[in-house]
Amino acid sequence: MIDFDAYVKYSRPGPRYTSYPTALEFSGDFSYESYINELKNRDKTRPLSLYFHLPFCRSACYFCGCNVIYTSKEDKKERYIGYLERELEILSSHLDTTSPVLQLHFGGGTPTFFSAAQLDKIIKLIKAKFTNFSEDAEISCEIDPRFLNEDQIKVLTSHGFNRISYGVQDFDEKVQAEIHRIQPYEITQNAVNLARRYGIKSINMDLIYGLPYQSLESFKNTLKMALTLSPDRLAIFNYAHVPWIKKSMRKFDETTLPSPKTKLEILKFTAGFLTQNGYKMIGMDHFAKPDDELFKALNDGTLHRNFQGYTTKGGADLIGVGVTSIGELKRHYAQNFKDLDEYENAIDAGRLPYSRGVYLSDEDLLRKAVIMSLMANFTLDIKAIEREFGVSFKEHFKAELDELKNLSEFVQITDDRLIVNETGAMLIRNIAMCFDEYMVKFKDSKNSFSKTI
């Protein structure tokens, strides 16, 4: 049983931990030469996970925190495909592309802003370089239902795409108008039906609470409408209002944002409603049907978290391709240029468009293992950490465990395990922060991260 009265007291700025160290630690100190050396000398027995960033959108959704480029020009998309092809050519000269590929994910932007023919071309370019796709590879695409047609679904499914994530956010017309994303229910319904008709087995739907003009009643309606489409997974995100980073968010009248009390009521209803309707909580903001592999992985303690969200495909090296993409090998994170001109200039010079990153120290690796286990599985095998890293957990993390006492009502610690209870799962970012040695730099900062609640 989730204790929401206890939960509400702990709202503070904090990372979402799609990585550790977080992107705020990325810099040029991890040099291009070091990055190339890491690619060349990676452990070739490790499989690959591929992320491709397709950055274009026709217009701005004001709530969006993603790295996007707004355009209606067809030639920009064709030009970008040309640069993706050249980036892949350079990448394959530094990276062994014969390793098994466990994952391929298209993010954006709006990947289906590219035409069916363009998507077909991009996928063929990828498969020409990466020829060893696993039979059970997870091949997925983020889709704006407003930009999807049958030809695109045909192309995706013909190339083995088996997961789709639909951006919905909210079905309320007033909320849609305010966030600059008009998307009637029928459009989403048609997109879901189309995917089902072509054999897509796993459909995720993204919703956001905390948007302007949302109320408990309006979000109840959105949830009920969403469930009529029977998604296999639901991601219910807390809107991160960061207008100091994203200028489009300044368009909102902040007095129209729901209060913390209302957001808590929405969250409380959401958790109960989805549970009553057969979904189980996965991670801090995901819900899945009990027969979904994410739920099975959570029960087995094998769920993982990376820049693509929660996944069952752990132990893979993530390779990011395209403007602003982030890659992750065992010892580093690496991000491409965010600016399209800088991205193109690097490729024109025969270099990968690497911009910044971070090399992980032994201490980083230890803390990453702790934080990512907590974020993904709400539990930590203390003995396994001690064996892998050769530390006495309670001695090494004495100060962190003292800090964790402030959250003791949510955490049980034995000699063998650290276990987070159901309420603590909703506060998992707060719990993970106790083990983040970089957080001391941000303890007085209000503009580095979104709030945890």
pLDDT at 8 over 80: no
The CA distance from 298 to 290, in Å, is: 10
In total, the chain counts a number of residues equal to 453
pLDDT of residue 446: 59
Backbone angles phi, psi at 87, to 5 degrees: -65, -40
Beta bridge partners of 53: 107
**Mean pLDDT over each residue of the chain, to the nearest integer:** 91
C-alpha Rg value of the chain to the nearest Å: 21
Q: Which amino acid is at 198?
A: Y
**Model confidence at 293, in pLDDT bands (50, 70, 90)?**
confident
Lowest mean pLDDT among 208-212, 399-403, 439-443: 439-443
The CA distance from 183 to 170, in Å, is: 9
β-bridge pairing 202-209 and 163-169: parallel
pLDDT of residue 307: 72
pLDDT at 252 over 90: yes
Average pLDDT over residues 343-359: 98
Per the omega criterion (within 30 degrees of 0), is the bond before 109 cis?
yes
Higher pLDDT, 10 or 244: 244
Q: Sketch out the chain's domains with CATH numbers.
A: 1-21+362-453 (1.10.10.920), 23-320 (3.80.30.20)
β-bridge pairing 309-311 and 304-306: antiparallel
**Model confidence at 208, in pLDDT bands (50, 70, 90)?**
very high
pLDDT at 450 over 70: no
The CA distance from 404 to 431, in Å, is: 7
Average pLDDT over residues 270-283: 90
pLDDT of residue 73: 83
Average pLDDT over residues 270-279: 94
The CA distance from 446 to 444, in Å, is: 7
pLDDT of residue 281: 85
Report pLDDT digits (tens) over 319-331: 999 999 999 999 9
pLDDT at 357 over 90: yes
The CA distance from 4 to 270, in Å, is: 12
Lowest mean pLDDT among 282-291, 394-403, 428-437: 282-291
pLDDT at 444 over 70: no
Which strand (E) or helix (H) includes residue 140?
A: strand 133-143
Burial of 262 (0-12, 13-18, 19+ CB in 10 A): middle
pLDDT of residue 20: 93
Find out whether 219 and 263 touch, Cβ atoms under 8 Å. no
The CA distance from 257 to 262, in Å, is: 10
Find out whether 229 and 198 touch, Cβ atoms under 8 Å. no
List the Cα angle 381/405/263 in 5-degree steps: 90
Higher pLDDT, 207 or 238: 207
* CA-to-CA dists, residue 201 to 10, 187, 216, 367, 449, angstroms: 38, 20, 31, 36, 35
Q: Please state, for a pLDDT cut of 70, what percent of the chain lies above it.
A: 95
Average pLDDT over residues 23-41: 96
The CA distance from 3 to 15, in Å, is: 23
pLDDT of residue 306: 73
The CA distance from 116 to 23, in Å, is: 33
Which residues contact residue 289 at a Cβ distance below 8 angstroms, ignoring those fewer than 6 apart? 232, 233, 278, 279, 280, 295
pLDDT of residue 234: 96
Beta bridge partners of 54: 108
Find out whether 270 and 264 touch, Cβ atoms under 8 Å. no
The CA distance from 376 to 393, in Å, is: 19
Neighbours of 43 (CB within 10 A): 10
pLDDT at 39 over 70: yes
Average pLDDT over residues 347-361: 98
Beta bridge partners of 52: 106, 321
Average pLDDT over residues 161-165: 96
Strands (E), 280-410: 280-282, 286-288, 304-306, 309-311, 317-321, 326-329, 332-336, 354-359, 379-381
pLDDT of residue 139: 96
β-bridge pairing 233-238 and 280-282: unpaired
Q: Please state, for a pLDDT cut of 90, what percent of the chain lies above it.
A: 73
Mark 288-321 as b/e (b = at least 16 C-beta within 10 Å): bbeebbbbebbeeeebbbbbbbbbbbbebbbbbb
